[in-house]
């Protein structure tokens, strides 16, 4: 390939035409083959310049451009569909929201666009009325060992706005015995809706497992779909009992807390584990120390700060 000095168009040698040379210029400076090829720009449909191999064909170039265009179009489709998927999961109920929360941590399965959208299902769902939340708390606090402290907490939550709302409950910041606490309250209809969703999912799983190949009669889906649904629903109902979560928190603190059995094995500064208030933890209410922190999936600001530090 040869590139004339005043042109950006590459022309095969056999199609090369000598341009008009002014009288005062007897000949053009020689341009080496190697130098011309290294400086030959090729512009794609997107406007970006890149160097192509010498022996690339026109069909290969067109195929490469078409593939890039298709990928861009599919990325735009995913961006438009992601909010619709999130809204649909919200409308279907808590079980499907829990599924979306799990998929939010697997961008390798659902793609980065959908995973980033599903992150909102973790703590950015529509909240239920605080009056309903207070009713749930009052029911759980009946017979509390410290009625004065229970009244203090309830009073601090009057007119409060939830700090976060997820599929099964929402979190408030209250005051108990003079210190700030996090109060997690379960949605009033969460257990009933989860039971309905579990029945629907099991029916769907049985239907999927019953699908057969009309040619050989073999199952189209060989995986144990019903078993997977049963496992998911079992874990969902376990999560609906906040007493189990409180027990798990206590066990984790005993292992990795300030005086835990394995605290010395952790790199400094160790772990900050919120202190539970076991007297105020029930099946639908969980109370623990309020701790400021950052979610495991970093926010956009945290990502930007990290990028700046890396660049420095």
Report helix, strand or coil for 41.
Answer: coil
* 3 state DSSP class of 66: helix
CA distance 255 to 273: 11
Closest C-alpha to 252, from 236, 232, 269, 272 = 272
- Reported as a pLDDT band with limits 50, 70 and 90, residue 274 is very high
Q: pLDDT by residue (tens digit) across 210-245?
A: 999 888 888 888 889 899 889 989 998 999 999 999
128-132 long-range Cβ contacts below 8 angstroms, 24+ apart: 128/165, 128/170, 128/187, 128/188, 130/157, 130/159, 130/160, 130/161, 130/162, 130/172, 132/188
Average pLDDT over residues 274-300: 86
> Token pair for residue 296?
């495991």
pLDDT digits (tens, 9 = 90+) for 64-98: 676 777 777 767 777 788 888 888 888 887 788 88
What is residue 143's DSSP assignment?
T
pLDDT one-digit tens code per residue, 163-209: 988 888 999 999 999 999 999 999 998 999 889 989 988 998 999 89
Using pLDDT thresholds of 50, 70 and 90, give the confidence band for residue 152: very high
Closest residue by Cα to residue 224 from 206, 198, 203, 197: 206
Does the pTM of the predicted model rise above 0.95? Answer: no
pLDDT of residue 79: 78
Mean of the per-residue pLDDT values of the chain: 79
Who has greater pLDDT, 134 or 112?
A: 134
Q: Which residue has the higher pLDDT, 291 or 33?
A: 291
Instruction: Determine how many CB atoms are found less than 10 A away from the CB of residue 274.
Output: 15
Instruction: Report pLDDT digits (tens) over 14-68.
Output: 554 555 545 554 455 555 555 444 444 444 444 444 455 555 666 666 666 767 7
Report whether pLDDT(123) > 90: no
Task: Return the percentage of the chain with pLDDT > 70, whole number.
Answer: 73
Provide φ and ψ at 2, rounded to 5°. -125, 140
Ranges of each domain in the chain: 65-123, 130-188+240-311, 190-238
- The contacts of residue 100 (CB under 8 Å, 6+ apart) are 85, 86, 89, 118, 121
pLDDT at 309: 62
Rounded Cα distance between 201 and 211, Å, is 16
């Amino acid at each position: 390939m040869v590139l004339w000095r005043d042109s950006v168009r590459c022309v095969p040698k056999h199609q090369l035409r000598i341009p008009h040379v002014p009288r005062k210029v007897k000949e053009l400076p020689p341009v080496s083959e190697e130098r011309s090829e290294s400086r030959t720009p090729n512009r794609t449909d997107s406007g970006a310049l890149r160097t192509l191999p010498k022996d690339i064909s026109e069909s290969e170039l067109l195929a490469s451009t078409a593939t890039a265009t298709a990928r861009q179009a599919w990325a735009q489709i995913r961006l438009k569909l992601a909010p619709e998927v999130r809204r649909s999961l919200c409308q279907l109920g808590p079980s499907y929201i829990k599924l979306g929360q799990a998929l939010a941590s697997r961008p390798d399965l659902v793609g980065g666009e959908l995973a980033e959208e599903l992150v909102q299902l973790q703590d950015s769902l529509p909240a239920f009325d605080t009056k309903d939340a207070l009713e749930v708390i009052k029911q759980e606090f009946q017979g509390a060992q410290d009625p004065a402290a229970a009244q203090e907490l309830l009073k601090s939550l009057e007119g409060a706005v939830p700090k976060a709302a997820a599929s099964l409950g929402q979190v408030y910041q209250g005051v108990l015995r003079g210190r700030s606490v996090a109060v997690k309250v379960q949605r009033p209809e969460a257990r009933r809706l989860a039971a309905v969703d579990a029945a629907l999912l099991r029916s769907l799983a049985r239907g999927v497992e019953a699908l057969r190949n009309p040619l050989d009669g073999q199952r189209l889906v060989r995986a144990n779909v019903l078993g997977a649904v049963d496992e998911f629903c079992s874990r969902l109902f376990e999560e609906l009992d906040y007493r189990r979560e409180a027990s798990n928190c206590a066990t984790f603190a005993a292992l990795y807390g300030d005086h835990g059995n394995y605290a010395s094995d952790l790199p400094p500064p160790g772990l900050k584990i919120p202190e539970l208030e076991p007297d105020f933890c029930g099946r639908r209410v969980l109370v623990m120390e309020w701790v400021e922190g950052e979610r495991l999936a970093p926010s956009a600001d945290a990502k930007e700060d990290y990028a700046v530090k890396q660049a420095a």
